[in-house]
Amino acid sequence: MRIKDLNGFAQGVGRFEEGEHQGMVGFVPHTLPGDVIKPQAVEFQKRIGLVKNFALITPSTLRGQAHCQHCGLCPGCSLHSMRTEEYKSLKETVLKNLLRGPLKEENVPLVCLNQSGFRNKLILHWNQKKNSLAYADDELLSDILQCPVAEPAIEEMIRQIPQAFTGIPGIHKIYLKSLPQNQTVLGIICKQKPSVSELQNQLGNLFENIFWQWDCNPFTIKNYQWVQKQSEPLFEQVHNHRLHWLPEAFFQTNRFILHEIVQTLREWIPKQVVVWDLYCGIGTLLFAVRDLVSSGYGIEFSSIAISCAQKSAQDLPNLSFECLDLSKDIHKIPKDWKSPEVILLNPPRQGISQELMKHILKMNCPEIIYMSCNPITLERDLTVLIKSGYCLKKTLAFDMFPNTAHFEILVQLKK
pLDDT digit string (tens) for 275-290?
999 999 999 999 999 9
CA 169 to chain CA mean position, Å: 30
Size of the chain in residues: 415
* List of E strands, 21-130: 25-28, 36-44, 48-58, 110-111, 121-127
Which one is predicted more confidently, 79 or 363? Answer: 363
- Give the span between the Cα atoms of 14 and 56, in whole angstroms: 14
Strand order in the sheet with 36-44: 5-6, 12-15, 25-28, 48-58, 36-44
pLDDT level of residue 186 (50, 70, 90 thresholds) = very high
Residue 233: pLDDT band (50, 70, 90) is very high
Q: Count Cβ atoms below 10 Å from residue 26 Cβ, excluding itself.
A: 24
Res. 69 pLDDT band, cuts 50 70 90? confident
Rounded Cα–Cα distance for residues 72 and 203 (Å): 32
Domains of the chain: residue spans and CATH: 5-71 (2.40.50), 121-232 (2.40.50.1070), 254-414 (3.40.50.150)
Residue 82 pLDDT greater than 90, yes or no = no
The partner residues of 407 in beta bridges, in order of sequence, read none
Partners of 54 in beta bridges: 39
pLDDT of residue 220: 77
Q: Give the whole-angstrom CA distance, residue 144 versus residue 165.
A: 14
pLDDT in tens, 236-285: 999 989 999 999 999 999 999 999 999 999 999 999 999 999 999 999 99
For the segment 102-143, what is each residue's pLDDT rounded down to a tens digit? 999 899 999 999 999 999 999 999 988 888 898 877 666 668
Could you tell me the pTM of the whole model? Answer: 0.93
Q: How far is CA 228 from CA 123, 192, 207, 300, 393, in A?
A: 19, 19, 9, 28, 49
User: For the residues 309-330, what does the mean pLDDT come to?
Assistant: 93
What's the pLDDT score for residue 45?
93
Lowest mean pLDDT among 29-43, 187-201, 217-231, 332-346: 217-231
CA-closest candidate to residue 66, choices 159, 146, 179, 126: 146
Q: Distance (Å, rounded) from C-alpha 91 to C-alpha 371? A: 19
> Looking at residue 218, what is its pLDDT?
55
- Report how far residue 251's alpha carbon sits from residue 248's, in angstroms, rounded to the nearest whole number: 10
- Percent of the chain at pLDDT above 70? 98
The answer, yes or no, to whether residue 78 has pLDDT greater than 90, is no
Q: What is residue 258's predicted lDDT score, i.e. its pLDDT? A: 97
Q: Residue 324 burial (CB < 10 Å; 0-12/13-18/19+)? A: middle
Checking if the pLDDT of 21 tops 90, the result is: yes
Alpha-carbon span 392 to 400, nearest angstrom: 22
Which whole number is the average pLDDT over 189-215?
A: 90
Q: What is the DSSP string of 192-243?
A: S---HHHHHHHHTTT-SEEEEEE-S-TT---S-EEEE--SSPPEEEETTEEE
From the list 319, 318, 281, the residue with the least C-alpha distance to 303 is 281
Cβ–Cβ under 8 Å, residues 126 and 171:
yes
Judge whether 330 and 299 are in contact, CB under 8 Å. no
Cα separations in angstroms, 297 against 29, 30, 330: 43, 43, 14
DSSP code string of 225-236: EEEE--SSPPEE
User: Rounded CA gap, 141 and 134, in Å?
Assistant: 5
* Whole-number CA gyration radius for the chain: 23
Residue 88, phi then psi, degrees to nearest 5 = -65, -45
| Residue 162 vs residues 80, 134, 280, 302: alpha-carbon distances, Å | 25, 11, 37, 34
